[in-house]
Amino acid sequence: MSERAPAGRWPNGARVAVMISVDHDADLAILSGSPTTADRGKTLSVGRYGTDRGIDRLLGLFTDLRVPTTWFVPGRNAERHPEAVRRIAAAGHEIACHGDAHENFLELTLGEQVRAVRDAAERLRRVTGAAPRGFRTPAGEWKPGLGARLADLGIRWSSSMPGDDLPYLHPEASGLVEIPVHYELEDHQYFFFNLEPPFPTGQSRIASYAHALDNWKREFMAYHRFGLCYVLRLQPEVTGTPGRIGLVREIIEYIQGCQDVWLATGSQIADRWRTQHRENEPGHPADLFQRLRAEQEQAR
């Protein structure tokens, strides 16, 4: 890969695009992953902490640093915590769809996946007054054909797949942009922890704060070097704590201290990519996978 980004890839001569994203799924993610926790107040309080404390810490930090962000919210979570979601939107941040009840899409049919997104988008519209333009899979995998149906529902971009370092166009849906996200740039992988039931399975994981921050910085240095799209994925209950909020401040201030950086929302990045690209570069893995899948369907 060339060490020089193509001129004009990002606005105003920026070398790298950065999207700060937040998944606000609260205790819905815990319940969907382990339904037996429905009567476990201690376990569910881990998720509720994000709503009660983490959201406002993150919002305060983003306001202080003047950072635009994108929040992915399940539809039912917006209905359960409408004032929190309205505070996020009122602060100028983008609200995107994160499923309806934080479903595991691997367990749903295509019709059920479509219904989850449609219902969630309507709930978000009722709470915020605006229909979401972005989507992130809550858990599991897309069914073939979901991309085209997302576009029909008014979704213009996704940030669900880890298959690239730059945005690309979904081959099954005209104009649907994917903004890739990677596990090493999430807070959940380093810090999320619960004793019983065990999260993660097998125990234990609470990473060194310094090491996690160093990972995020090293990744940003490489993304900046190659002119890519850096997506940080946070959760209020994970990095909205008194100590870890400092890690978020440090990585954002580090990013802001570098030259030629474009901090943007998901919609801004997707719109920019869409205006510059009518198709993917020749041989893009997404197109090759789509072609292989079509050939397999024909052979059946």
Mean pLDDT (whole number) for 20-43: 69
How many structural domains is the chain composed of? Answer: 1
pLDDT, tens digit (0-9, with 9 covering 90-100), for 171-218:
888 799 999 999 999 998 898 776 566 666 665 678 899 999 999 999
Mean pLDDT (whole number) for 260-280: 96
* Total Cβ atoms within 10 A of residue 38: 11
The pLDDT mean for the chain works out to: 89
Mean pLDDT (whole number) for 205-233: 95
pLDDT at position 41, please?
55
Residue 56 belongs to a domain: yes
pLDDT, tens digit (0-9, with 9 covering 90-100), for 73-92:
999 999 999 999 999 999 99
pLDDT at position 2, please?
46
Residue 179's domain comprises: 11-299
Residue 82 belongs to a domain: yes
Residue 5 belongs to a domain: no
pLDDT at position 185, please?
98
Contact in structure between 266 and 94 (CB atoms under 8 Å): yes
Residue 284's contacts (CB-CB under 8 Å, 6 or more residues apart) are 164, 168
Task: Look up the CATH number of the domain holding residue 179.
Answer: 3.20.20.370
CA nearest 76: which of 44, 101, 107? 101
pLDDT surpassing 90 at residue 60: yes
Residue 6 belongs to a domain: no
pLDDT at position 92, please?
97
pLDDT surpassing 70 at residue 28: no
Could you tell me which residue, 6 or 199, shows the higher pLDDT? 6
pLDDT, tens digit (0-9, with 9 covering 90-100), for 89-147:
999 999 999 999 999 999 999 999 999 999 999 999 999 999 999 999 998 999 999 99
C-alpha to C-alpha distance for 62 and 271, rounded to whole angstroms: 23
pLDDT surpassing 50 at residue 69: yes
- Sort 257 into a burial class: Cβ within 10 Å, 0-12 / 13-18 / 19+: exposed
Could you tell me which residue, 3 or 252, shows the higher pLDDT? 252
pLDDT surpassing 60 at residue 289: yes
Residue 53 belongs to a domain: yes
Per the DSSP assignment, residues forming a β-bridge with 22 are 71, 234
Residue 48 belongs to a domain: yes
Contact in structure between 241 and 56 (CB atoms under 8 Å): no
Confidence of residue 297 (pLDDT cuts 50, 70, 90): confident
pLDDT at position 295, please?
74
Contact in structure between 24 and 85 (CB atoms under 8 Å): yes
Residue 266 belongs to a domain: yes
